[in-house]
Structure 1
Amino acid sequence: MLTTILGIDHAMIVVRDLDAAAADWAAAGFTLSPRGLHSEAMGSANYTIMFGEDYVELLGVVAPTPRNEGVRNFLAGRQGFARTAFTTTDAAAGAAALKVRGIEAVGPMDFARPVPLPGGAETEARFSVFQWPETLAPGAMRIFACQHHTRNAVWIPDLQRHANGVAAIRRALVASPDPAAAAAGMAALIESAVETDGAISLVPTGTGRADFAFATRADLAAAYGLDAASLPDTGGAGLVLGATTARAPMMVTGCALVFEPL
Protein backbone atom coordinates (compact mmCIF):
# COMPACT_ATOMS: atom_id res chain seq x y z
CA MET A 1 0.00 0.00 0.00
CA LEU A 2 1.22 3.51 -0.70
CA THR A 3 2.71 4.70 2.56
CA THR A 4 0.62 7.89 2.71
CA ILE A 5 -2.70 6.11 2.04
CA LEU A 6 -4.80 4.84 4.95
CA GLY A 7 -7.68 3.43 2.89
CA ILE A 8 -11.00 4.50 1.43
CA ASP A 9 -12.08 7.85 2.82
CA HIS A 10 -15.35 8.51 1.01
CA ALA A 11 -17.53 7.48 -1.89
CA MET A 12 -18.70 10.28 -4.16
CA ILE A 13 -22.25 9.89 -5.43
CA VAL A 14 -22.85 12.35 -8.28
CA VAL A 15 -26.48 13.40 -8.69
CA ARG A 16 -28.54 15.59 -11.01
CA ASP A 17 -30.85 17.11 -8.38
CA LEU A 18 -28.87 17.50 -5.17
CA ASP A 19 -31.70 18.41 -2.83
CA ALA A 20 -33.97 15.67 -4.17
CA ALA A 21 -31.14 13.17 -3.72
CA ALA A 22 -30.62 14.33 -0.14
CA ALA A 23 -34.31 13.74 0.54
CA ASP A 24 -34.06 10.22 -0.90
CA TRP A 25 -31.06 9.33 1.30
CA ALA A 26 -32.77 10.81 4.35
CA ALA A 27 -35.85 8.69 3.61
CA ALA A 28 -33.53 5.64 3.60
CA GLY A 29 -32.59 6.40 7.20
CA PHE A 30 -29.41 8.44 6.82
CA THR A 31 -28.56 11.63 8.70
CA LEU A 32 -27.23 14.26 6.30
CA SER A 33 -25.08 17.30 6.96
CA PRO A 34 -26.49 20.70 6.08
CA ARG A 35 -25.99 21.58 2.40
CA GLY A 36 -22.45 22.78 1.70
CA LEU A 37 -21.42 25.09 -1.13
CA HIS A 38 -17.99 24.80 -2.73
CA SER A 39 -16.00 27.64 -4.26
CA GLU A 40 -17.13 29.53 -7.35
CA ALA A 41 -14.33 27.84 -9.32
CA MET A 42 -15.58 24.38 -8.36
CA GLY A 43 -19.22 25.25 -9.08
CA SER A 44 -20.60 22.43 -6.96
CA ALA A 45 -22.41 21.76 -3.71
CA ASN A 46 -22.69 18.73 -1.48
CA TYR A 47 -24.23 16.88 1.41
CA THR A 48 -22.21 14.41 3.48
CA ILE A 49 -23.28 11.25 5.29
CA MET A 50 -20.71 10.60 7.99
CA PHE A 51 -19.74 7.24 9.51
CA GLY A 52 -16.89 6.26 11.84
CA GLU A 53 -13.83 6.61 9.60
CA ASP A 54 -15.42 7.13 6.20
CA TYR A 55 -18.43 8.73 4.57
CA VAL A 56 -20.62 9.20 1.52
CA GLU A 57 -20.63 12.50 -0.34
CA LEU A 58 -23.59 13.54 -2.49
CA LEU A 59 -22.29 15.99 -5.09
CA GLY A 60 -24.23 18.19 -7.50
CA VAL A 61 -23.30 20.91 -10.00
CA VAL A 62 -24.67 24.39 -9.30
CA ALA A 63 -22.83 26.22 -12.13
CA PRO A 64 -20.81 24.83 -15.06
CA THR A 65 -17.07 25.46 -14.66
CA PRO A 66 -13.92 23.82 -16.06
CA ARG A 67 -13.35 22.19 -12.67
CA ASN A 68 -16.64 20.25 -12.79
CA GLU A 69 -16.51 19.20 -16.44
CA GLY A 70 -15.79 15.60 -15.46
CA VAL A 71 -18.81 15.51 -13.17
CA ARG A 72 -21.02 16.96 -15.90
CA ASN A 73 -19.73 14.39 -18.39
CA PHE A 74 -20.60 11.60 -15.95
CA LEU A 75 -24.09 13.00 -15.40
CA ALA A 76 -24.70 13.12 -19.13
CA GLY A 77 -24.77 9.32 -18.98
CA ARG A 78 -26.13 8.51 -15.53
CA GLN A 79 -26.06 9.49 -11.88
CA GLY A 80 -24.61 7.37 -9.11
CA PHE A 81 -21.28 6.21 -7.64
CA ALA A 82 -18.66 8.05 -9.69
CA ARG A 83 -15.43 8.43 -7.71
CA THR A 84 -13.62 7.11 -4.67
CA ALA A 85 -11.38 9.13 -2.36
CA PHE A 86 -8.66 7.70 -0.14
CA THR A 87 -7.51 9.19 3.14
CA THR A 88 -3.97 10.48 2.79
CA THR A 89 -1.73 11.61 5.64
CA ASP A 90 0.29 13.86 3.31
CA ALA A 91 -1.11 14.93 -0.06
CA ALA A 92 2.14 16.52 -1.24
CA ALA A 93 4.17 13.41 -0.41
CA GLY A 94 1.55 11.17 -2.01
CA ALA A 95 1.58 13.11 -5.27
CA ALA A 96 5.38 13.09 -5.27
CA ALA A 97 5.44 9.32 -4.72
CA LEU A 98 3.22 8.77 -7.76
CA LYS A 99 5.45 10.99 -9.90
CA VAL A 100 8.49 8.95 -8.88
CA ARG A 101 6.65 5.93 -10.29
CA GLY A 102 6.02 7.78 -13.56
CA ILE A 103 2.37 8.56 -12.80
CA GLU A 104 1.51 12.18 -13.51
CA ALA A 105 -0.45 12.98 -10.38
CA VAL A 106 -2.65 16.08 -10.42
CA GLY A 107 -1.91 18.24 -7.40
CA PRO A 108 -1.59 18.60 -4.55
CA MET A 109 -4.35 21.20 -4.45
CA ASP A 110 -5.48 23.03 -1.32
CA PHE A 111 -9.04 24.16 -0.84
CA ALA A 112 -11.58 24.96 1.84
CA ARG A 113 -15.33 25.19 2.13
CA PRO A 114 -17.68 26.60 4.74
CA VAL A 115 -19.43 23.95 6.81
CA PRO A 116 -22.91 24.75 8.15
CA LEU A 117 -23.33 23.08 11.51
CA PRO A 118 -26.47 21.61 13.07
CA GLY A 119 -28.09 24.47 14.95
CA GLY A 120 -27.11 27.19 12.50
CA ALA A 121 -23.44 27.89 13.33
CA GLU A 122 -20.70 27.62 10.70
CA THR A 123 -17.10 26.48 10.58
CA GLU A 124 -14.59 25.78 7.80
CA ALA A 125 -13.25 22.51 6.45
CA ARG A 126 -9.79 22.55 4.86
CA PHE A 127 -8.39 19.84 2.60
CA SER A 128 -5.43 19.03 0.38
CA VAL A 129 -6.03 16.58 -2.45
CA PHE A 130 -4.20 14.88 -5.28
CA GLN A 131 -5.65 12.87 -8.13
CA TRP A 132 -4.55 9.98 -10.27
CA PRO A 133 -4.76 10.92 -13.97
CA GLU A 134 -8.22 10.68 -15.50
CA THR A 135 -6.93 8.03 -17.91
CA LEU A 136 -6.09 5.70 -14.99
CA ALA A 137 -9.53 4.62 -13.83
CA PRO A 138 -9.82 0.82 -13.50
CA GLY A 139 -13.38 -0.25 -14.12
CA ALA A 140 -14.11 3.43 -14.93
CA MET A 141 -13.61 4.28 -11.25
CA ARG A 142 -11.84 7.64 -10.86
CA ILE A 143 -9.70 7.89 -7.72
CA PHE A 144 -8.14 10.67 -5.69
CA ALA A 145 -6.77 11.18 -2.19
CA CYS A 146 -7.83 13.67 0.46
CA GLN A 147 -5.87 15.00 3.43
CA HIS A 148 -8.21 16.36 6.09
CA HIS A 149 -6.73 19.30 7.99
CA THR A 150 -9.89 19.91 10.04
CA ARG A 151 -11.44 16.52 10.79
CA ASN A 152 -13.57 17.93 13.60
CA ALA A 153 -15.31 20.16 11.07
CA VAL A 154 -16.42 17.10 9.08
CA TRP A 155 -16.76 14.20 11.57
CA ILE A 156 -19.42 15.76 13.79
CA PRO A 157 -20.91 13.32 16.35
CA ASP A 158 -24.52 14.39 15.74
CA LEU A 159 -24.10 13.60 12.04
CA GLN A 160 -22.67 10.12 12.65
CA ARG A 161 -25.87 8.67 14.12
CA HIS A 162 -28.21 7.15 11.54
CA ALA A 163 -31.70 5.74 12.01
CA ASN A 164 -30.81 2.78 9.80
CA GLY A 165 -27.84 1.84 12.00
CA VAL A 166 -25.17 2.27 9.31
CA ALA A 167 -21.70 2.92 10.75
CA ALA A 168 -19.17 2.10 8.00
CA ILE A 169 -18.53 1.39 4.33
CA ARG A 170 -17.46 -2.24 3.94
CA ARG A 171 -17.04 -2.57 0.16
CA ALA A 172 -17.11 -0.31 -2.86
CA LEU A 173 -18.76 -2.27 -5.66
CA VAL A 174 -17.44 -1.70 -9.18
CA ALA A 175 -18.91 -3.40 -12.25
CA SER A 176 -16.59 -4.43 -15.07
CA PRO A 177 -16.80 -6.84 -18.01
CA ASP A 178 -13.23 -7.86 -17.08
CA PRO A 179 -13.11 -7.63 -13.29
CA ALA A 180 -9.79 -9.44 -12.89
CA ALA A 181 -8.03 -6.89 -15.10
CA ALA A 182 -9.79 -3.95 -13.43
CA ALA A 183 -8.86 -5.22 -9.97
CA ALA A 184 -5.25 -5.75 -11.02
CA GLY A 185 -5.17 -2.21 -12.37
CA MET A 186 -6.52 -0.72 -9.15
CA ALA A 187 -4.16 -2.79 -7.02
CA ALA A 188 -1.20 -1.53 -9.06
CA LEU A 189 -2.25 2.11 -8.65
CA ILE A 190 -2.38 1.94 -4.85
CA GLU A 191 0.29 -0.78 -4.36
CA SER A 192 -2.18 -3.30 -2.98
CA ALA A 193 -2.95 -6.90 -4.01
CA VAL A 194 -5.89 -8.78 -5.46
CA GLU A 195 -7.85 -11.34 -3.45
CA THR A 196 -10.80 -13.42 -4.60
CA ASP A 197 -14.20 -14.09 -3.08
CA GLY A 198 -15.98 -16.40 -5.49
CA ALA A 199 -16.59 -14.46 -8.69
CA ILE A 200 -15.56 -11.19 -7.05
CA SER A 201 -12.03 -9.73 -7.21
CA LEU A 202 -11.22 -7.77 -4.06
CA VAL A 203 -8.63 -5.04 -3.60
CA PRO A 204 -7.96 -4.11 0.05
CA THR A 205 -7.31 -0.40 0.59
CA GLY A 206 -6.14 -0.29 4.21
CA THR A 207 -6.60 -1.83 7.65
CA GLY A 208 -10.13 -1.28 8.89
CA ARG A 209 -11.18 0.43 5.65
CA ALA A 210 -13.43 -0.70 2.82
CA ASP A 211 -12.25 -2.95 -0.01
CA PHE A 212 -12.96 -2.52 -3.67
CA ALA A 213 -15.04 -5.39 -5.09
CA PHE A 214 -14.83 -5.82 -8.87
CA ALA A 215 -17.21 -8.17 -10.70
CA THR A 216 -19.48 -8.30 -13.71
CA ARG A 217 -22.82 -6.69 -13.03
CA ALA A 218 -24.46 -10.14 -13.25
CA ASP A 219 -22.12 -11.49 -10.57
CA LEU A 220 -22.61 -8.41 -8.38
CA ALA A 221 -26.35 -8.87 -8.67
CA ALA A 222 -26.13 -12.56 -7.77
CA ALA A 223 -23.77 -11.98 -4.84
CA TYR A 224 -25.70 -9.12 -3.25
CA GLY A 225 -29.32 -9.71 -4.21
CA LEU A 226 -29.49 -6.82 -6.68
CA ASP A 227 -31.26 -6.29 -9.99
CA ALA A 228 -28.59 -6.58 -12.68
CA ALA A 229 -30.53 -4.29 -15.02
CA SER A 230 -30.22 -1.45 -12.49
CA LEU A 231 -26.41 -1.69 -12.41
CA PRO A 232 -23.97 -0.16 -14.90
CA ASP A 233 -22.02 -2.45 -17.19
CA THR A 234 -18.87 -0.58 -16.18
CA GLY A 235 -18.29 1.76 -13.24
CA GLY A 236 -19.29 2.33 -9.65
CA ALA A 237 -22.32 0.19 -8.89
CA GLY A 238 -22.90 0.54 -5.17
CA LEU A 239 -21.75 0.20 -1.58
CA VAL A 240 -21.84 -2.53 1.04
CA LEU A 241 -22.54 -0.83 4.36
CA GLY A 242 -22.00 -2.17 7.85
CA ALA A 243 -25.17 -1.64 9.89
CA THR A 244 -26.75 -2.66 13.19
CA THR A 245 -30.18 -2.95 11.57
CA ALA A 246 -30.89 -5.60 8.93
CA ARG A 247 -32.74 -4.49 5.81
CA ALA A 248 -33.08 -5.44 2.16
CA PRO A 249 -30.79 -3.99 -0.53
CA MET A 250 -32.05 -0.85 -2.24
CA MET A 251 -31.21 1.59 -5.02
CA VAL A 252 -30.87 5.27 -4.06
CA THR A 253 -30.05 7.84 -6.76
CA GLY A 254 -28.42 5.27 -9.00
CA CYS A 255 -26.35 3.67 -6.23
CA ALA A 256 -27.04 0.16 -4.92
CA LEU A 257 -26.90 -0.09 -1.13
CA VAL A 258 -26.34 -3.45 0.56
CA PHE A 259 -26.58 -3.72 4.36
CA GLU A 260 -24.48 -6.21 6.29
CA PRO A 261 -24.29 -6.82 10.06
CA LEU A 262 -21.51 -4.97 11.88
Structure 2
Amino acid sequence: MALKNVIGIDHAVVVVRDLDQAAENWKRLGFTVSPRGTHSAKMGSGNYTIMLDADYIELLGVLVATDHNAPTRAFLEKRGEGVERIAFTAVDSAAGAEEIRAHGYDAVGPIDFERPVTMPDGSLSAAKFRVFQWPIAEAPAGLRIFACEHKTRETVWIPELMKHANGARRLRQTLVVSPEPAEDAAHLARMIAREARAESDGAVAVPSGSDRADFVFLTRDQLGRRYPEISLKGLPERGGAGLVLETSDLAAVERAVAGSAVRSAGAVCVAPAAANGTLLVFVGA
Protein backbone atom coordinates (compact mmCIF):
# COMPACT_ATOMS: atom_id res chain seq x y z
CA MET A 1 0.00 0.00 0.00
CA ALA A 2 1.35 3.43 -1.00
CA LEU A 3 2.50 5.78 1.74
CA LYS A 4 -0.26 8.18 2.76
CA ASN A 5 1.99 10.98 3.96
CA VAL A 6 4.52 11.01 1.11
CA ILE A 7 3.01 12.31 -2.13
CA GLY A 8 5.79 12.58 -4.71
CA ILE A 9 9.00 14.42 -5.44
CA ASP A 10 9.15 17.86 -3.82
CA HIS A 11 12.61 18.97 -4.89
CA ALA A 12 16.00 17.81 -6.12
CA VAL A 13 19.12 18.82 -4.19
CA VAL A 14 22.14 19.67 -6.34
CA VAL A 15 25.24 19.99 -4.17
CA VAL A 16 27.81 22.54 -5.37
CA ARG A 17 31.26 23.65 -4.25
CA ASP A 18 30.84 27.41 -4.68
CA LEU A 19 27.26 28.40 -3.95
CA ASP A 20 27.28 31.92 -5.38
CA GLN A 21 29.14 30.87 -8.51
CA ALA A 22 26.64 28.06 -9.06
CA ALA A 23 23.72 30.48 -8.76
CA GLU A 24 25.24 32.67 -11.47
CA ASN A 25 25.79 29.61 -13.63
CA TRP A 26 22.14 28.52 -13.42
CA LYS A 27 21.02 32.06 -14.18
CA ARG A 28 23.04 31.79 -17.40
CA LEU A 29 21.02 28.65 -18.16
CA GLY A 30 17.81 30.67 -18.16
CA PHE A 31 16.60 30.04 -14.63
CA THR A 32 15.32 32.63 -12.18
CA VAL A 33 17.20 32.01 -8.95
CA SER A 34 15.96 33.01 -5.50
CA PRO A 35 17.94 35.24 -3.14
CA ARG A 36 20.48 33.25 -1.14
CA GLY A 37 19.21 31.48 1.96
CA THR A 38 21.29 30.58 5.00
CA HIS A 39 20.49 27.61 7.23
CA SER A 40 21.17 27.30 10.95
CA ALA A 41 24.66 27.18 12.48
CA LYS A 42 24.11 23.47 13.15
CA MET A 43 23.38 22.78 9.50
CA GLY A 44 26.23 25.00 8.30
CA SER A 45 24.82 25.27 4.78
CA GLY A 46 23.21 27.76 2.45
CA ASN A 47 21.07 27.49 -0.65
CA TYR A 48 19.47 29.03 -3.68
CA THR A 49 16.19 27.68 -5.04
CA ILE A 50 14.79 27.42 -8.56
CA MET A 51 11.04 27.34 -8.12
CA LEU A 52 8.79 25.46 -10.54
CA ASP A 53 5.02 24.92 -10.56
CA ALA A 54 4.73 22.15 -7.97
CA ASP A 55 8.36 21.29 -7.25
CA TYR A 56 11.80 22.88 -7.41
CA ILE A 57 15.57 22.51 -7.60
CA GLU A 58 17.77 23.43 -4.65
CA LEU A 59 21.40 24.44 -5.09
CA LEU A 60 23.04 23.55 -1.78
CA GLY A 61 26.48 24.52 -0.56
CA VAL A 62 28.43 23.94 2.65
CA LEU A 63 29.36 27.25 4.29
CA VAL A 64 30.89 25.91 7.52
CA ALA A 65 31.85 22.30 8.22
CA THR A 66 29.59 20.74 10.88
CA ASP A 67 28.66 17.23 11.95
CA HIS A 68 25.30 17.69 10.28
CA ASN A 69 26.74 18.35 6.82
CA ALA A 70 29.44 15.64 6.99
CA PRO A 71 27.57 13.39 4.49
CA THR A 72 27.34 16.28 2.03
CA ARG A 73 31.04 17.04 2.37
CA ALA A 74 31.82 13.36 1.86
CA PHE A 75 29.68 13.37 -1.29
CA LEU A 76 31.56 16.36 -2.70
CA GLU A 77 34.92 14.81 -1.91
CA LYS A 78 34.06 11.46 -3.48
CA ARG A 79 31.75 12.37 -6.35
CA GLY A 80 32.02 16.10 -6.91
CA GLU A 81 29.06 18.30 -7.72
CA GLY A 82 25.70 16.90 -8.73
CA VAL A 83 22.35 15.51 -7.57
CA GLU A 84 22.99 14.32 -4.03
CA ARG A 85 19.49 13.65 -2.70
CA ILE A 86 15.81 13.93 -3.46
CA ALA A 87 13.09 15.29 -1.20
CA PHE A 88 9.52 14.06 -1.22
CA THR A 89 6.56 16.20 -0.22
CA ALA A 90 5.34 15.22 3.24
CA VAL A 91 1.73 15.89 4.13
CA ASP A 92 2.51 15.37 7.83
CA SER A 93 6.13 14.67 8.73
CA ALA A 94 5.40 13.19 12.15
CA ALA A 95 2.86 10.77 10.68
CA GLY A 96 5.16 10.09 7.74
CA ALA A 97 8.05 9.14 10.02
CA GLU A 98 5.79 6.73 11.88
CA GLU A 99 4.57 5.33 8.58
CA ILE A 100 8.03 4.41 7.33
CA ARG A 101 8.90 2.98 10.74
CA ALA A 102 5.91 0.67 10.28
CA HIS A 103 7.54 -0.39 7.00
CA GLY A 104 10.75 -1.31 8.84
CA TYR A 105 12.84 1.84 8.34
CA ASP A 106 14.34 3.67 11.31
CA ALA A 107 13.24 7.21 10.47
CA VAL A 108 15.39 10.18 11.44
CA GLY A 109 13.20 13.00 12.70
CA PRO A 110 10.97 14.79 12.26
CA ILE A 111 13.13 17.88 12.65
CA ASP A 112 11.97 21.49 12.41
CA PHE A 113 14.11 24.19 10.86
CA GLU A 114 13.77 27.47 9.02
CA ARG A 115 15.71 29.96 6.97
CA PRO A 116 15.19 33.70 6.45
CA VAL A 117 13.56 34.78 3.18
CA THR A 118 13.64 38.21 1.59
CA MET A 119 10.25 38.77 -0.03
CA PRO A 120 9.80 40.66 -3.34
CA ASP A 121 8.75 43.84 -1.47
CA GLY A 122 11.99 43.77 0.51
CA SER A 123 10.45 42.57 3.77
CA LEU A 124 12.07 39.77 5.72
CA SER A 125 10.11 36.58 6.39
CA ALA A 126 10.99 32.93 6.96
CA ALA A 127 10.57 29.61 5.19
CA LYS A 128 9.69 26.95 7.76
CA PHE A 129 9.98 23.20 7.27
CA ARG A 130 9.55 19.93 9.11
CA VAL A 131 11.55 17.07 7.63
CA PHE A 132 12.26 13.41 8.24
CA GLN A 133 14.57 11.06 6.42
CA TRP A 134 15.12 7.43 5.72
CA PRO A 135 18.33 6.00 7.21
CA ILE A 136 21.43 7.36 5.43
CA ALA A 137 22.55 3.78 4.67
CA GLU A 138 19.31 3.25 2.72
CA ALA A 139 20.37 5.13 -0.41
CA PRO A 140 19.39 3.43 -3.70
CA ALA A 141 22.30 3.86 -6.14
CA GLY A 142 23.82 6.16 -3.52
CA LEU A 143 20.92 8.63 -3.75
CA ARG A 144 19.69 9.76 -0.33
CA ILE A 145 15.98 10.49 0.18
CA PHE A 146 14.02 12.48 2.73
CA ALA A 147 10.59 14.08 3.04
CA CYS A 148 9.78 17.75 3.56
CA GLU A 149 6.64 19.30 5.01
CA HIS A 150 6.28 22.95 4.01
CA LYS A 151 4.80 25.00 6.82
CA THR A 152 5.02 28.31 4.92
CA ARG A 153 4.52 27.57 1.22
CA GLU A 154 3.90 31.25 0.52
CA THR A 155 7.52 32.09 1.36
CA VAL A 156 8.88 29.36 -0.92
CA TRP A 157 6.61 29.35 -3.99
CA ILE A 158 6.86 33.06 -4.72
CA PRO A 159 5.26 33.91 -8.10
CA GLU A 160 8.10 36.21 -9.18
CA LEU A 161 10.56 33.34 -8.78
CA MET A 162 8.52 30.88 -10.85
CA LYS A 163 8.99 32.56 -14.24
CA HIS A 164 12.04 31.37 -16.17
CA ALA A 165 13.54 32.54 -19.45
CA ASN A 166 13.92 28.89 -20.47
CA GLY A 167 10.21 28.22 -19.83
CA ALA A 168 10.87 25.52 -17.19
CA ARG A 169 7.64 24.45 -15.52
CA ARG A 170 8.12 21.21 -13.60
CA LEU A 171 10.31 18.18 -13.00
CA ARG A 172 9.37 15.18 -15.12
CA GLN A 173 12.09 12.67 -14.20
CA THR A 174 15.06 12.22 -11.90
CA LEU A 175 17.73 10.24 -13.78
CA VAL A 176 19.79 7.85 -11.66
CA VAL A 177 22.67 5.84 -13.13
CA SER A 178 23.53 2.43 -11.76
CA PRO A 179 25.38 -0.70 -12.92
CA GLU A 180 22.34 -2.60 -11.56
CA PRO A 181 19.34 -0.40 -12.31
CA ALA A 182 16.69 -3.06 -11.63
CA GLU A 183 18.17 -3.82 -8.21
CA ASP A 184 18.45 -0.18 -7.17
CA ALA A 185 14.99 0.64 -8.53
CA ALA A 186 13.52 -2.23 -6.51
CA HIS A 187 15.31 -0.87 -3.44
CA LEU A 188 13.70 2.55 -3.84
CA ALA A 189 10.30 1.04 -4.66
CA ARG A 190 10.36 -0.85 -1.34
CA MET A 191 11.33 2.29 0.57
CA ILE A 192 8.42 4.35 -0.77
CA ALA A 193 5.91 1.50 -1.24
CA ARG A 194 5.60 1.94 -5.01
CA GLU A 195 5.79 -0.44 -7.97
CA ALA A 196 8.77 -0.30 -10.34
CA ARG A 197 8.14 -0.74 -14.06
CA ALA A 198 10.49 -1.75 -16.85
CA GLU A 199 10.95 0.58 -19.82
CA SER A 200 11.56 -0.45 -23.43
CA ASP A 201 15.31 0.26 -23.37
CA GLY A 202 15.94 -1.72 -20.17
CA ALA A 203 15.72 1.22 -17.81
CA VAL A 204 13.46 0.91 -14.76
CA ALA A 205 11.09 3.66 -13.62
CA VAL A 206 9.71 4.18 -10.12
CA PRO A 207 6.76 6.59 -9.78
CA SER A 208 7.26 8.97 -6.87
CA GLY A 209 3.54 9.47 -6.25
CA SER A 210 0.67 11.70 -7.34
CA ASP A 211 1.46 13.45 -10.64
CA ARG A 212 5.03 14.24 -9.60
CA ALA A 213 8.24 13.25 -11.38
CA ASP A 214 9.33 9.64 -11.79
CA PHE A 215 12.70 8.20 -10.90
CA VAL A 216 14.38 6.46 -13.84
CA PHE A 217 17.23 4.05 -13.09
CA LEU A 218 19.52 3.14 -15.98
CA THR A 219 23.13 2.35 -16.73
CA ARG A 220 25.45 5.09 -17.89
CA ASP A 221 25.52 3.42 -21.33
CA GLN A 222 21.71 3.39 -21.47
CA LEU A 223 21.67 7.08 -20.59
CA GLY A 224 24.17 7.75 -23.37
CA ARG A 225 21.96 5.92 -25.87
CA ARG A 226 18.95 8.00 -24.81
CA TYR A 227 20.79 11.26 -25.46
CA PRO A 228 23.62 10.39 -27.85
CA GLU A 229 24.56 13.94 -28.85
CA ILE A 230 25.38 15.14 -25.33
CA SER A 231 28.59 14.57 -23.38
CA LEU A 232 28.13 12.73 -20.09
CA LYS A 233 31.63 13.57 -18.91
CA GLY A 234 31.71 14.02 -15.16
CA LEU A 235 28.80 11.74 -14.33
CA PRO A 236 29.41 8.82 -11.96
CA GLU A 237 28.72 5.16 -12.72
CA ARG A 238 26.31 5.15 -9.78
CA GLY A 239 24.33 8.07 -8.42
CA GLY A 240 22.01 10.94 -9.27
CA ALA A 241 22.80 11.94 -12.84
CA GLY A 242 20.26 14.39 -14.16
CA LEU A 243 16.88 16.04 -14.25
CA VAL A 244 14.28 16.02 -17.02
CA LEU A 245 12.29 19.25 -16.98
CA GLU A 246 9.11 20.15 -18.78
CA THR A 247 9.24 23.49 -20.58
CA SER A 248 6.58 25.55 -22.28
CA ASP A 249 8.88 26.29 -25.21
CA LEU A 250 11.92 24.33 -26.41
CA ALA A 251 12.98 27.22 -28.61
CA ALA A 252 13.03 29.42 -25.49
CA VAL A 253 15.43 26.96 -23.90
CA GLU A 254 17.77 27.18 -26.87
CA ARG A 255 17.66 30.98 -26.77
CA ALA A 256 18.20 31.14 -23.01
CA VAL A 257 20.92 28.53 -22.82
CA ALA A 258 22.61 29.70 -26.03
CA GLY A 259 25.93 27.91 -26.56
CA SER A 260 25.26 25.25 -23.91
CA ALA A 261 22.18 23.79 -25.64
CA VAL A 262 22.35 20.53 -27.63
CA ARG A 263 19.39 18.96 -29.41
CA SER A 264 19.20 15.23 -28.73
CA ALA A 265 16.33 12.75 -29.12
CA GLY A 266 13.79 15.55 -29.49
CA ALA A 267 14.93 17.28 -26.31
CA VAL A 268 17.20 20.20 -25.55
CA CYS A 269 20.05 19.06 -23.30
CA VAL A 270 22.69 20.75 -21.20
CA ALA A 271 25.78 18.70 -20.42
CA PRO A 272 26.73 17.97 -16.79
CA ALA A 273 29.92 19.99 -17.23
CA ALA A 274 27.81 23.10 -17.84
CA ALA A 275 25.32 22.53 -14.99
CA ASN A 276 27.36 21.68 -11.90
CA GLY A 277 27.54 17.95 -12.53
CA THR A 278 23.86 17.61 -13.50
CA LEU A 279 22.57 16.56 -16.92
CA LEU A 280 19.58 18.78 -17.77
CA VAL A 281 17.07 17.53 -20.32
CA PHE A 282 14.30 19.89 -21.40
CA VAL A 283 11.23 18.34 -23.01
CA GLY A 284 8.04 19.90 -24.34
CA ALA A 285 4.80 19.90 -22.42
What TM-score does the superposition give when structure 2 sets the normalisation length?
0.90
CA-to-partner distance for each residue in 1:64-117, whole Å, 9 max, x for gaps?
A: 011110110011121110000000101001111111222101001011111122
CA contact (8 A) 1:131 1:143 kept: yes
Asked whether 1:229 is paired with 2:238, we answer no
Residue matched to 1:58: 59
How big is each residue's C-alpha offset from its partner over 1:148-188, in whole Å with a ceiling of 9 and x where there is no partner? 01000100000000000000000000000000000000000
Q: Distance in 2 between matches of 1:190 and 1:20?
A: 35
> 1:67 is matched with which residue?
68
Match of 1:32 in 2: 33
Q: Which amino acid aligns with 1:36?
A: G
Among residues 121, 131, 134, which one is paired with 2:133 in the alignment? 131
| 2:94 aligned partner | 92
Q: Distance in 1 between matches of 2:160 and 2:147?
A: 25
CA contact (8 A) 1:218 1:228 kept: no
- Partner of 2:190, secondary structure, is helix
Q: Alignment identity in percent?
A: 49
SS at structure 2 position matched to 1:249: strand
Q: Does residue 249 of the first structure (1) align with residue 253 of the second (2)?
A: no
CA distances 1:45-80 after superposition (whole Å, capped 9, x unpaired): 000000010000000011001111011001112111
1:230 corresponds to which letter in structure 2?
A: G
Select which of 117, 122, 127 maps to 2:124.
Answer: 122
SS at match of 2:164: coil
Structure 1 unpaired stretches of 5+: none
Partner Cα separation in structure 1 for residue 23 and residue 220 of structure 2: 26
**SS at 2:69 equivalent:** helix
Contact kept, 8 Å, 2:232 with 2:279, in 1: the verdict is no
Question: For the aligned residues, what is the CA RMSD?
Answer: 1.0
SS in 2 for 1:186: helix
Contact map agreement 1:34 1:117 (CA 8 A) in 2:
no
Match of 2:262?
none
Equivalence for 2:222: 219
| Residue among 193, 199, 215 paired with 1:191 | 193
